[in-house]
Amino acid sequence: RNGSDGVQDAKSAERGDDRTLFRQRARWRNLEEAVKMMGRHQLGLELEERQALDIVSWLRSLTGVIPKDYIARPELP
């Protein structure tokens, strides 16, 4: 999808890619700042530095490419 705002969706072969948070017009300087803001606004928590870094580390560990046979459309009867 490429909406009128110029933002494109992440490619389907990418998973957990931390870069998908930083599209055009991103409001945050880095992923750690985004994680802290999300904790504050979505959970009402003020994350400590170490907590935010742990979450960022976990998010980055998910980055990878999904095997094509995993995301291929199944043949239907």
DSSP H helices in 1-77: 31-38, 49-61, 68-71
Q: Is residue 5 part of a domain?
A: no
pLDDT at 25: 57
Q: Which domain holds residue 51?
A: 14-70
Is 9 part of any domain?
no
User: What percentage of the chain carries pLDDT values higher than 70?
Assistant: 66
Which of 8-12, 13-17, 18-22, 44-48 has the least mean pLDDT?
A: 8-12
- Does residue 6 sit within a domain? no
24/17 Cα distance (integer angstroms): 15
Range of lowest pLDDT (11-15, 51-55, 69-73)? 11-15
pLDDT band at 16 (very low <50, low <70, confident <90, very high): low
Query: Does a structural domain hold residue 64?
Result: yes
pTM above 0.75, yes or no: no
User: Packing angle between helix 49-61 and helix 31-38, nearest 10 degrees?
Assistant: 110
Tell me whether residue 7 is in a domain.
no
